[in-house]
């Protein structure tokens, strides 16, 4: 297949998070909300200082202020003493009014907002008069509507994925395979279908120069939500057994011989390989200091660090039609990890690598296949989270799948429909005022020297 010309976003972490109805657009909305909340907190502090000096300020009684105040009051549990249980005081009312919905393992204000946004996107994509000048947005609607055609999906069964696997060299679990095609399969699986075996690559703002975007590489490759599932085998014995059963079941659905077969042995080897990846994966608790994990280097400098992968070839394929040179900078967040994963690749039998790569492709695309694959996923999710995906309406599943595949185009549609022309100007003005208020508050901090204060303003 030709390389997909799609935007790259930072991966959501473990691959199974996608099966639990978490989406990239949801994470973006959460990040924006949290960022705005932090900025508003700074503004409130600065404005409070000004308010103390100016008694002319009165209570805001606009419609927006009244609505926000009402929501805050509804979220409170006024009967609880905040000095005894501040969490219950501040959130008790919201918890009482928002019981855990069926089919959900957790529920928060972000989940509620995401459900509301999904309803908006459903209306947009099902609009019979939809007519966008953007090819990406038209593809988004076609993708969503095709996901709703359950009868056609059932008729096709596993055929589309089986044909794709054959096209890129085959799968050792279901038949013959090309033993010399490691890099070609890696490029297609990660570049075209955006799975993340071994590592994840994306383009995003440089954390040390936020005005510029840069290629970034980080650790990835685990299907279960956390490395702990692989390493704490006794505590997670039930989950690991369910995961292995799921792997074998999908292998059989895609053409592997029914059990007892080598499929279980081969899938156990894939699970063991993922366990080796988990062993070299750095725990999140050790990745909190960006200064320690940030490593900027050129592609030429990255190559000898992790020689098992042809980085210029792989990145050029993923980012086509952009032309890259080996001088292109890359921010590596998993420097030691990439060196160790390179050693692991070079020391692993090619048949296991093939099984692992194609398994990444299978798990990435399985949710688009027929009900047998959905049922297999539901059993695994129930073991992991205690919820069944079948509780989710089909249209919501399709919205999540569309966002996962064409998130930028779907986001563009959403913004056009929900933000008027003045919204950007208003937001920019608000940010400018928050920045000004923050600078005012900095000037009043007597514990900060002039040099540090200036550095904070520049930051």
Task: Give per-residue pLDDT as tens, 123-169.
Answer: 999 997 888 888 999 999 999 999 999 999 999 999 999 999 999 99
Residue 403 has pLDDT above 90, yes or no: yes
Could you give the percent of the chain with pLDDT greater than 70?
86
Q: What is the pLDDT of residue 225?
A: 92
244-248 contacts at long range (C-beta below 8 A, 24 or more positions apart)? 244/268, 244/271, 245/379, 245/380, 246/376, 246/377, 246/379, 246/380, 247/271, 247/359
Q: What are the backbone dihedrals phi and psi of residue 248, each rounded to the nearest 5 degrees, phi first?
A: -65, -45
Residue 355 has pLDDT above 90, yes or no: yes
Say whether domain 158-369 belongs to CATH 3.40.640.10: no
Residue 260 has pLDDT above 50, yes or no: yes
- To the nearest whole number, what is the mean pLDDT of the chain? 86
- Higher per-residue pLDDT: 1 or 258: 258
**Mean pLDDT of the region 396-403:** 93
Q: What is the pLDDT of residue 402?
A: 94
- Residue 9: pLDDT band (50, 70, 90) is very low
Q: What are the backbone dihedrals phi and psi of residue 369, each rounded to the nearest 5 degrees, phi first?
A: -95, -170
- 94: which 2 tokens? 């919201």
Q: What is the pLDDT of residue 38?
A: 61
Q: What is the pLDDT of residue 399?
A: 95
- Asked whether the whole model's pTM tops 0.85, one would answer no
**Mean pLDDT of the region 199-215:** 92
Query: Is there a contact between 333 and 293 (Cβ–Cβ < 8 Å)?
Result: yes
- 206: which 2 tokens? 């440089």
Residue 386 has pLDDT above 50, yes or no: yes
Q: What is the pLDDT of residue 130?
A: 82
Residue 22 has pLDDT above 70, yes or no: no
Residue 12 has pLDDT above 70, yes or no: no
Residue 370 has pLDDT above 90, yes or no: yes
Residue 342 has pLDDT above 50, yes or no: yes
Residue 21 has pLDDT above 60, yes or no: no
Between strands 329-332 and 209-219, the pairing is parallel
Spatial CA neighbour of 156 closest among 379, 404, 368, 377 = 368
Residue 40 has pLDDT above 70, yes or no: no
Residue 309 has pLDDT above 90, yes or no: yes
Residue 448 φ/ψ region, left for φ over 0, alpha for ψ in the -120 to 50 degree band, beta for the rest = beta
Note the pLDDT tens digit of each residue in 217-256: 999 999 999 999 999 999 999 999 999 999 999 999 998 8
**Mean pLDDT of the region 193-202:** 94
d(CA 409, CA 455): 38
Residue 23 has pLDDT above 60, yes or no: no
Could you give the percent of the chain with pLDDT greater than 90?
59
- Residue 10: pLDDT band (50, 70, 90) is very low
Note the pLDDT tens digit of each residue in 72-120: 999 999 999 999 999 999 999 999 988 888 777 788 888 888 999 999 9
- Residue 2: pLDDT band (50, 70, 90) is very low
Residue 203 has pLDDT above 70, yes or no: yes
Q: What is the pLDDT of residue 354?
A: 95
Query: Is there a contact between 290 and 207 (Cβ–Cβ < 8 Å)?
Result: yes
Buried b (16+ CB within 10 A) or exposed e, 424-456: eeeeeeeeeebeebbeebbeeeeeeeeeeeeee
Q: What is the pLDDT of residue 243?
A: 97
**Mean pLDDT of the region 286-315:** 95
Note the pLDDT tens digit of each residue in 177-195: 998 889 999 999 999 998 9
- Residue 296: pLDDT band (50, 70, 90) is very high
Residue 25 has pLDDT above 90, yes or no: no
Between strands 295-298 and 329-332, the pairing is antiparallel
d(CA 185, CA 361): 10
């Amino acid at each position: 297949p030709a390389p997909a010309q799609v935007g790259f976003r930072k991966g959501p972490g473990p691959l199974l998070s996608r099966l639990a109805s978490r989406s990239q657009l949801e994470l973006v909305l959460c990040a924006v909300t949290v960022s705005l909340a932090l900025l508003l907190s700074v503004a409130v502090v600065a404005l409070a200082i000004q308010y103390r000096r100016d008694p002319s300020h009165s209570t805001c009684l606009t419609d927006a202020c009244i609505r926000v105040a009402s929501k805050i009051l509804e979220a409170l549990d006024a009967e609880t003493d905040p000095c005894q249980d501040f969490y219950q005081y501040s959130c008790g009312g919201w918890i009482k009014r928002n019981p855990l919905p069926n089919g959900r393992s957790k529920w928060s204000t972000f989940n509620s907002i995401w459900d509301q946004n999904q309803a908006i996107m459903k209306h947009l994509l099902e609009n019979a008069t939809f007519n966008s000048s953007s090819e990406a947005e038209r593809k988004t609607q076609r993708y969503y509507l095709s996901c709703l055609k359950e009868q056609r999906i059932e008729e096709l069964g596993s055929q589309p994925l089986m044909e794709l696997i054959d096209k890129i060299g085959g799968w050792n679990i279901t038949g013959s395979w090309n033993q010399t095609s490691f890099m070609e399969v890696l490029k297609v699986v990660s570049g075209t279908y955006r799975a993340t075996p071994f590592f994840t690559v994306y383009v995003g703002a440089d954390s040390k120069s936020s005005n510029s975007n840069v290629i970034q590489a980080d650790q990835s490759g685990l299907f279960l939500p956390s490395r702990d599932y692989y390493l704490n085998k006794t505590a997670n014995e039930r989950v690991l057994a369910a995961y292995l059963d799921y792997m074998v079941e999908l292998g059989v659905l895609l053409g592997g011989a029914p059990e007892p077969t080598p499929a279980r042995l081969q899938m156990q080897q894939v699970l063991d390989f993922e366990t080796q990846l988990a062993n070299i994966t750095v725990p999140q608790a050790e990745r909190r200091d960006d200064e320690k994990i940030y490593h900027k280097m050129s592609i030429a400098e990255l190559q000898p660090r992790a020689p098992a992968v042809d980085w210029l070839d792989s990145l050029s394929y993923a980012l086509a039609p952009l032309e890259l040179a080996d001088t292109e900078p890359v921010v590596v967040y998993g420097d030691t990890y990439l060196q160790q994963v390179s050693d692991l690749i070079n020391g692993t039998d090619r048949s296991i690598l093939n099984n692992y790569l194609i398994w990444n492709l299978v798990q990435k695309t399985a949710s688009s296949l027929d009900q047998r694959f959905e049922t297999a996923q539901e059993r695994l999710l129930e073991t992991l989270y205690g919820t069944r995906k079948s509780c989710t309406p089909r249209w919501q599943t399709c919205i999540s799948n569309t966002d996962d595949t064409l998130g930028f185009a779907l986001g563009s549609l959403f913004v056009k429909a929900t933000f008027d022309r003045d919204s950007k100007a208003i937001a920019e003005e608000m940010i400018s005022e928050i920045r000004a208020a923050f600078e005012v508050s900095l000037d009043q901090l007597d514990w900060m020297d002039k040099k540090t204060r200036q550095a904070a303003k520049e930051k």
